[in-house]
Amino acid sequence: MKSKLIAIMAVVLLLSLFNSCDCSRGSKTFVDMMKKVPVESTFFSYWAISGLSADEELQNMYAKFRESTEAKQLKDIGVVLFTLRHSAKASGSDGSVTVLGGDFNIKDLERRLEVKGYKETTYRGIGIWTPQDGGEYNPLTLQEDAILVGKTEDLKSCIDTMDQEQEYSLYEDQDIKWLTDKLPEGLIVDVYKAGPAYGEAYVDLIAYGKSYKKEDQGRLKLTAVYMFQDSLTAGNAQAEIKDHLATEKFVDVRLERDGGFVRATAYIDITDFAQTLSF
């Protein structure tokens, strides 16, 4: 009887540890947003809009979104910004699209778009609303939980992606999936496919991602994951990665290698980080 009790307690403890593990298979918000954008995207940036706006120390970061063309367009058609929870911007060689997640009344938004003179066309049964004044604003399409903003062809590509029959999402790229499965949630999460268009380039780098969260007063914690062809090139790149982060004003930089992956943690002053941001 005693041995059975010990065995049961061991199983309960094991399940408890498993359920509390960071590697739980629970869905991440930035991954959910990533599933809405095409596989051809080479850069993806997630912002937790509600988290940024709610914290006084993060107001200089939130201001970058509030001053963006996308935010101005939403306000112009009558969207109240505090209804927004998340944003994701994906870009590639052919264009870019912004996905804005929140609580929306689709029928009311359609009415407001009509009042503002937007013209609706349909693609695969979904409306694409185009402004007619020729200004700075882009077409947009409405979902129950998201507003997508971008050029018409980019919106069509996202509609195909969300349909999951016509086009793969960025998350279904195996390299990106491996990488993002190792990245934690954050206030801002950036994911890059390696290439000359982006800031960090190391030998045989495949992709990398960075997740930022508020650690303590005045500072953010960075968790970065770099994916290489093999353990050799991952090991060789560690000194370069550490030097690069130091030049970007990160402190307490620590690195560890796991096979072809390098994981880095570091800290940065919120004010310094906000100065580098653009939405």
* Domain range annotation of the chain: 43-163, 173-276
Q: Are 55 and 187 in contact (CB under 8 A)?
A: no
Query: What is the pTM assigned to this prediction?
Result: 0.87
User: pLDDT tens digit string along 160-177?
Assistant: 988 766 678 999 999 999
User: pLDDT tens digit string along 67-113?
Assistant: 999 999 999 999 999 999 999 999 987 789 999 999 899 999 999 99
pLDDT at 92: 87
- Strands 43-47, 84-92: pairing is antiparallel
Q: Which of 70-74, 81-85, 130-134, 184-188 has the lowest mean pLDDT?
A: 130-134
Q: Are 97 and 158 in contact (CB under 8 A)?
A: yes
